[in-house]
Every structure is written in structure tokens, then in C-alpha cells.
Amino acid sequence: MSKPITAGQPLLAVNNLYRHYALPREKLFGPPPTVKALNGVSFEVQAGKSVGIVGESGSGKSTIARLVMALDTPTSGTVSLEGRNLHALPKAELRTARRDFQMVFQDPYGSLDPRQTVARIVAEPLEALAETSRAVQRERASEALAAVGLRTTDMDKYPHEFSGGQRQRIAIARALITRPKLIVADEPVSALDVSVQAQVLNLMQDLQQQFGISYLLISHDLAVVNHLCDEVCVVFKGRIVERGRPADLFQHAQHEYTRTLLSAVLHTPSR
């Protein structure tokens, strides 16, 4: 059982996070070169709020997502969910803690197993986290699909029978099924058509209001985070170079890199 959040305590606290990767040696007796993917990243996500991590490919934003999800280990620094340092938890406790944080991946075509039915795909986190009967798993899968606007009759279909936007709804249903407090969404709409992007973002916003979910939204597009996030952190070369409310960054960007990102914004999804 997760601990209740005490007054003033953030849901997610990322503190002074570093992640350096050693590359293959270029010389037989030389030191291996190092890629410094993250260099002292810190931010917080409050319960029921959304924070966007924005940057171009290679900026370090996806490394942040992997470390927050405890899919990789930091060189130093901490990632705490409800006061628990995820990377210090024993394996069994981390497995239990995962019900509180789930992930939605970028590619709605590659992230769903084409050999599994929608019911099995959506129920998969329950199978991994708790001993529940198939009947209970199917009931919870039906509830999750209904929450994202899909029908119970869709449960026995396969991913190829759905559009890209519908597949991403299935991926969100899979993340919802453990009733998490935090969803990490890594470029959740970048593979979708512009018209479908707004639909998925609106869905995520509606689910946040309904269930009180917090989002950590990873994106290269400031227009996307403007639609959903309460705060934006701009990441450049492994560091947060600017942060603030989306509207403030749009109007008063201080860092040259943020202004470069703004110049690439071609659309703003609208409700």
C-alpha cells in the first residue's frame, strides 16, 4: 500500500539527477568516452498536476522518463514517488510500487503486441502486479476501455483493427488499469495526425479531471505541453535551462534554446 502524501510533499521529486553512459573504447588502452545524458536535473510534480519536459532529440528528456520509471539507474541523484526513493527500493517493493506509476509510449503501432487481444493488452499490468482472476482482469479492462471512450465489444479485437488514435487510447487504458497516481507519457501524440493529437490530449485532460492523475509529459513540441501542462521544463544538453508556466514561456522565453523551440511551433491543439 502506498503512503499518503503529507502536506507540502510532491507526488514526484527528482533531485540532482545525473546519468552518464560509457561508450566503447576508441583506443585499446585509453579511457572509454562518456556521454553525459543528464547533468543535475531537478523538478517536482504535485498531485493532480502535469509537468512537461521539452527538448529536441538527444536533449536528455527520454532519459528522464526512463529514470523516473525506474527502467534505468542514475549515475547519481534520486527519484522519489510519495517520498519513496524508487532506485533504493528492493525489487519486490519496486514491483508493488509500479501500480502507482505507469507509462504511455510514443508509438501506438509498436507498443501494442499484435498477437494479443485488446483485453489481454490492457490487463497486462494487472497480471504483472497482482494475483487477480481472469474475470476480474477482464472487468477492470472493460472499465479502463470505457474510460477512454472505447466499447466492451472492442475487447476481443486485435490492434490492427484500430486507427492510430484508437490504439493510443488502448495504450492509455493499459496505463489506467492499475489506477496510478502518475502517468509518464513519452511523446504520446507525435506519431498521430494533427487532428487526432488534439483528441488524445483532450482525453488525457478529461481523465486527469476525472481520476486526479498527474502527468509527466515528454515532448519536443511546446504546443502539446501548452495544451496539457501546468509547468514546463526546457531541457538542453542534459540540463534544465528554463522552466515556468507554458503561457509565460510562450510570451517571455528567456533562453535562446527555448526561443528556437518556439520558432518550430506550427500549430496549437485546441479543444
pLDDT in tens, 183-209: 999 998 888 888 888 889 999 999 999
| Sheet of 12-22, strand order | 34-45, 12-22, 76-81, 84-85
Query: pLDDT value at position 222?
Result: 84
> What's this model's pTM, rounded to 2 decimal places?
0.88
How many helices (H) and strands (E) are present in the chain, helices listed first?
9, 10
Who has greater pLDDT, 127 or 165?
Answer: 165
Query: Is 90 exceeded by the pLDDT of residue 145?
Result: yes
Does domain 12-263 sit in CATH 3.40.50.300?
yes
Mean pLDDT, the chain, rounded, equals 88
Query: What mean pLDDT is predicted for residues 9-15?
Result: 95
Task: Give percent of the chain above pLDDT 90.
Answer: 58
C-alpha radius of gyration, the chain, whole number:
19
Q: How confident is the model at residue 4 (pLDDT cuts 50, 70, 90)?
A: very low
For the residues of 118-187, what is the DSSP string, one character each? HHHHHHHHHHHHS---HHHHHHHHHHHHHHTT--GGGTTS-GGGS-HHHHHHHHHHHHHTT--SEEEEES
Predicted confidence at residue 221, as pLDDT, reads 83
Least confident of 43-47, 94-98, 267-271: 267-271
Instruction: Domain ranges for the chain, please list them.
Output: 12-263
* pLDDT tier for residue 27 given thresholds of 50, 70 and 90: confident
Question: Quick one: pLDDT at residue 270?
Answer: 44
Would the pLDDT of 271 be above 50?
no
What is the structure's pLDDT at 130? 63
Average pLDDT for residues 49-73, to the nearest whole number?
A: 94
